[in-house]
Amino acid sequence: MSEPERAAPPTAYRWLVLLACSLGVFGNYYVFDALYPVTPLLQRAFAITGEQIGLLDTSYNAAALLTLIAGGVLIDRIGVATAAVLFGALGAAGGVLIAVLPAAFPGAPWAGLMVGRFLLGIGAELFIVAATTVVGRWFRGREISFALAVQILVARAGSWAADESPHLARGLFTSWQPPLLLAAGAGLSWAGFAVLYAWLEVRAARRWAVARPAATDKLALGDLLRFDVGYWWVVGLCVAFYATVFPFRTFANLFLVEARGVTPERAGQLKAILPLLSMIGMPLFGLLADRLGRRALLMVVGAALLVPPFLLMASTTLPLELSMGMLGIAFALVPAVLWPAVTYLVPDARLGSAYALMTFCQQIGWAAVSWGAGALKDAAGASAANPAGWRPVLWLFAGLASAGLLFAGLLWRRERGPAGHGLEAVAPGQV
């Protein structure tokens, strides 16, 4: 006698699963970004150089690159629930090591930070993959875009809270360790919410019909060579954009304190404008693209907004809120249309390969520029005593942003011609 067909999970239960998973991602993002407001304190305590600060991101990126090679297969083999707990625990352990190893080994504090960031990179990137898979399993049709937007909003809230931590937890910023211990606590909550999500997942599997993840899309090198040139323009924009925004966020607190003379608390508030505008803007810009089309043009607009702020900060005394506001709008607009654009440019069967390759290239660019910007800062002697030494770093970011604008322009030109894929239309195929 066959088993009776089981009902779908209740709507409230599905959103509870999303909330538990998203709160885990909040902790993930907080732990990642919490290091940056502490960099001025680390420099004073341990004489860590700008190049070493940049290499902390490179350590994270190296872990992420290893994740892209094996992580998806591992998640499919052990299951999403188990993967979320495992990688949440690894990420939380990385946050703890970041907070305690510099004090445990004062002779090599930077090495301790590197170890913690590497472990964080393994846990964080794989947890994000698992969290994205959760949305795909639990939401369908029109709900999926909104569900992804909710998850991104909660994630960006973690970045915002980390940026605002010198203000929200000002009493902890008397030395380098207390803010990092707070971040370690956020990491433990991340692991806790991962366990809660896993419990909800296992409980649901016993009572309701829950979709299983699709088979892993393996990376086929021969297929990559046949991707349309428009895809490669998107990859170029992705690399240039994130290799500009993420390394700038790495050095923003230090730059604002040393070059513009603001307090650490004020630096955190200014930097927090980026994730705040991203939280608000990404769902709105995604809705705008769905209603109006013009996705390639929107990428051009977003890429164009990324160039002037670095030139303004390098050569003028205009209010910093202007530059941060432009960066925040770009940080919302470009990602809102860039990642969905890939679905127009490659076959469905190769989406996994396309995203894996694009993210791989993104991580390489981010790692290289984080190291390069730190080395350039040291070579130019940038410091509170020599604020002009920051100008070459800002020019580097402006140059990369200009390269992103070039790639966006090439994509827009192609999409307006006979070889377009419908990025400018309201719906796919309406070229």
For residues 197 and 234, membership in a common domain is answered with no
Mean pLDDT computed over 267-275? 90
User: What CATH code is carried by the domain that includes residue 365?
Assistant: 1.20.1250.20
- Residue 15 pLDDT greater than 70, yes or no: yes
The whole-number average pLDDT for the span 380-389 is 91
Residue 400 near residue 243 (C-beta atoms within 8 A):
yes
pLDDT tens-place string over residues 345-355: 877 656 656 77
- Co-location of 231 and 350 in the same domain: yes
Q: What DSSP string describes 119-184?
A: HHHHHHHHHHHHHHHHHHHH--THHHHHHHHHHHHHHHHHHHHHHTHHHHTGGGTTSSHHHHHHHH
Give the residue carrying structure tokens 């190296």: 62
Contact criterion met (CB below 8 Å) for 122 and 63: yes
Q: Is residue 397 predicted with pLDDT exceeding 90? A: yes
Quick: pLDDT tens for 330-350: 999 998 888 778 878 877 656
Do 374 and 227 lie in one domain? The reply is yes
Asked if residue 314 and residue 196 are part of one domain, the reply reads no
Domain-located, residue 5: no
Looking at the fold, whether 66 and 180 belong to one and the same domain comes out as: yes
- Within-domain flag for 330: yes
Residue-wise pLDDT for 138-164, tens only, equals 775 455 656 767 788 888 899 899 988
Q: Which pLDDT value is given to residue 360?
A: 80
Q: Say how far apart CA 21 and CA 135 lie, in whole Å.
A: 9
Is the domain of 155 the same as that of 296?
Answer: no
DSSP secondary structure letter of residue 44: H
Out of 194, 216, 238, a domain closes at 216
Q: Is it the case that residue 9 has pLDDT exceeding 90?
A: no
Domain boundary among 183, 216, 249: 216
291 and 413 in a common domain: yes
In the chain, the number of structural domains is: 2
Q: Which structural domain range is residue 210 located in?
A: 11-216
pLDDT reported for residue 58: 85
Cβ-contact 115, 229 below 8 angstroms: no
- Of 173, 194, 216, which residue constitutes the final position of a domain? 216
Q: State both tokens at 370.
A: 């984080």
Could you tell me if 205 and 241 lie in one domain?
A: no
pTM of full prediction above 0.85? no
Flag whether pLDDT at 216 surpasses 50. no
CA distance 70 to 63: 11
Answer yes or no: do 116 and 196 share one domain. yes
49 — pLDDT class (breaks 50, 70, 90): confident
Mean pLDDT taken over the chain: 85
300 and 333 housed in the same domain: yes
Among the residues of 272-417, which ranges form H helices? 273-292, 295-306, 308-315, 320-345, 351-380, 391-415
- Report the residue count for the chain: 431
Determine the pLDDT at residue 180: 96
Between 422 and 254, name the one with better pLDDT: 254
Give the angle 364-337-429 at the CA atoms, nearest 5°.
Answer: 115
Query: Could you tell me the maximum CA-CA distance found in the chain, to the nearest angstrom?
Result: 81
* Cβ pair 30, 93 in contact under 8 A: no
Which value, to the nearest 10 degrees, does the dihedral of the CA atoms of residues 11, 332, 244, 356 take?
30
Residues in Cβ contact with 107 at an 8 Å cutoff, skipping those fewer than 6 apart: none
Name, in order, each residue with C-beta under 8 angstroms of 267's C-beta and a sequence gap of 6 or more. 37, 166, 252, 253, 256, 257
Are 40 and 189 contained in the same domain?
yes
In a domain, 354, yes or no: yes
Q: How much is the average pLDDT of 414-429?
A: 73
Contact 183, 35 (CB under 8 A): yes
Cβ-based neighbour number of residue 185 at 10 Å: 17
Residue 163, in any domain of the structure: yes
Average of per-residue pLDDT across 102-119: 92
Is 112 strand, coil or helix? helix
Report the percentage of the chain scoring pLDDT > 90.
45
Structure-model confidence comparison of residues 316 and 353, the more confident one: 316
In angstroms, how far is the first alpha carbon of the chain from the final one?
53
Looking at per-residue confidence, does 202 or 194 come out higher? 194
